[in-house]
Amino acid sequence: MHSPLRTVIIGYGLVGRVFHAPLIRHTQGMTLTGVVSSRADDVHAELPDVEVYPTAEQAFKDPEVDLIVIATPNDTHTGFAIAALEAGKHVVVDKPVALDGEELERIIACARHHDRVFSVFQNRRWDADFLTLKALLDADRLGSVTRCHMHFDRFRPEVRDRWRERPGPGSGAWYDLGAHLADQAVTLFGTPKAVYADLATLRPNGGAVDYFHVLLRYDDHRVVLSSHAMSAHDGLRYAVDGTRASYIKHGIDTQEQTLRDGGVPGQPGWGEDPTRGVLYQGDTGERESIDNALGDYRAYYDNIVAHLAGQAELAVTPEQAIDVMRVIDAAHESSATGREIVLD
């Protein structure tokens, strides 16, 4: 393997251009050497120093490439991932990784057979507010959690003409935003005992899921994952109740908007969330404003570099991806059947 880690992104749409390319280019120990795209002029206008491969197969055959990052529509992930692994490349796939657990199992089996590293890009484990909530729970500031609401609401009343909002395999908010929330819930609390879900299309002329309310049942607490594309209120992010205190957080991590605005990872203010959460003490009612931790999506790729160098355990493992996909699959089944789905 080369040093720095020579990386190629498949796909240069929103995810590849706004998220992966800047993060890779600003992560020590990595270099973005190529992009697979049919729009070479568009890529070179922003990345004049990278090679543009017309097809993924050409990138897979390049012996100078170490890592393939797949940032294409969700229904193409499995085919690209398996082909890259069979070509001897390490692979990162953007969430939700696959359409279902069966596809995911095929990817994992291929990675193991070829002794390659496979991971899912779950960048929102490094949101400032999620890191803050995790630190509060690790320090037992809330006591034992009894209820947790995790929201990812937006106000986007107009249905845009893009694959994520059109009918089709892998489209819709549950695959998109739900994959983030499911991963955060499993990271904090483990795999739930059961899942009950309502997935719906509520916007006029909507073609894909734009609303979800998913209840995760654990032995001693409940977790609700929620999103709505027609929410114009103050943006509840987390509402967590414990035996000792409650934590309420509004607003969203700033890194995505910084990247969308053309910002650079690591620039002044990178990863800072100015909207503080509030901790409410149950016995006294005392309110405490909580400083946010510093978020940094580059930590995901820092871990990939360290893991491939034999210096760290993988942060986002295939086993964790299976747990998240079980929640995603169960929610689809629950919404379709109207019943709770018990996980083994």
Answer whether 294's CB lies under 8 Å from 157's CB: no
pLDDT surpassing 90 at residue 165:
no
Domains in the chain, please, with CATH?
A: 5-121 (3.40.50.720), 124-295+326-342 (3.30.360.10)
**Residue 2: pLDDT band by 50, 70, 90 thresholds?**
confident
Indicate the pairing of strand 194-200 with strand 145-151: unpaired
What strand order describes the sheet that includes 5-10?
A: 51-53, 30-36, 5-10, 67-70, 90-94, 118-121
Average pLDDT, integer, range 243-253: 97
Percent of the chain with pLDDT strictly greater than 70: 100
What strand order describes the sheet that includes 222-228?
A: 287-290, 277-281, 245-250, 236-242, 145-151, 222-228, 211-217, 194-200, 341-342
- Backbone phi, psi, residue 160, to 5°: -90, 155
Two tokens, residue 117: 């590293």
Answer whether 101's CB lies under 8 Å from 325's CB: yes
Q: What is the pLDDT of residues 75-93, one digit of tens each?
A: 999 999 999 999 999 999 9
Cα 295 from Cα 130, distance rounded (Å): 9
pLDDT surpassing 80 at residue 234:
no
Cα 316 from Cα 189, distance rounded (Å): 15
Q: Report which residue type is found at 123.
A: N
SS3 assignment for 131-188: HHHHHHHHCCCCCCEEEEEEECCCECCCCCCCHHHCCCCCCCHHHHHHHHHHHHHHHH
DSSP output for 52-88: EESSHHHHHH-TT--EEEE-S-GGGHHHHHHHHHHTT
Helix (H, G, I), strand (E, B) or coil at 14: helix
* pTM, rounded to two decimals: 0.95
Q: Report which residue type is found at 44.
A: H
In the chain, % helix, strand, coil (3-state, to 5) comes to 35, 25, 40
Question: Which residues share a beta bridge with 215?
Answer: 196, 224
pLDDT surpassing 90 at residue 162:
no
Two tokens, residue 248: 């309420």
Answer whether 90's CB lies under 8 Å from 66's CB: yes
Q: How many CB atoms lie within 10 A of CB 233?
A: 9
Q: What is the pLDDT of residues 284-307, one digit of tens each?
A: 989 999 999 999 999 999 999 999
Say which range, 25-29, 135-139, 154-158, 192-196, has the weakest mean pLDDT: 154-158
Q: How many CB atoms lie within 10 A of CB 72?
A: 21
The mean of the pLDDT values for the chain is 96
Per-residue model confidence (pLDDT) at position 233? 85
User: Smallest Cα–Cα separation from 300: which of 64, 34, 69, 56?
Assistant: 69
